[in-house]
Amino acid sequence: MASCVFCGIVAKEIPAAIVYEDDLSIAFMDAGQVNPGHVLVAVKAHAENLFELDDAQAGALLRAAARVARGIRAAFQPQGLSVYQANGKAAWQTVFHYHMHLVPRHQGDGMMLTWPAKNPPREKLAEYAAAIRREVG
């Protein structure tokens, strides 16, 4: 996609501090660093979100993310690492090219996550699981 910034990075038309790449994925420093070592891992072929990934892309992304996460840990010794990924505007996706954030974390670093758990009864969870199983096959 001509207007996609991540496609421009993949094509080497837009400069980026690349950390890792293979045939299907690329990892580069997030220009908006939350903490030092904040990396984005993206698919090379344009896919807007998780729903558009094929199995090969999904596997390559997780392998790349795990490899880069180990590199972040060795280079920056964070106390933790958060992995963030969003699909669609309702989930706060802002760049519509599949990517995940690897964010080194430290106590008191200011990052917050609100998790409004609804805690439905076990029967409702079983109903949700059955609906998903029907679609997964």
CA distances from 32 to 8, 39, 71, 109, 137 (A): 17, 10, 19, 15, 40
Q: Minimal CA–CA distance to 30: which of 109, 112, 100?
A: 100
Q: Show which residues are catalytic.
A: 99
Which own/partner pairs from 1-6 qualify as long-range (CB within 8 Å, at least 24 positions apart)?
A: 1/46, 1/97, 4/46, 4/95, 4/96, 4/97, 5/95, 5/97, 6/42, 6/46, 6/95, 6/97, 6/99
CA distances from 8 to 38, 44, 90 (A): 20, 10, 25
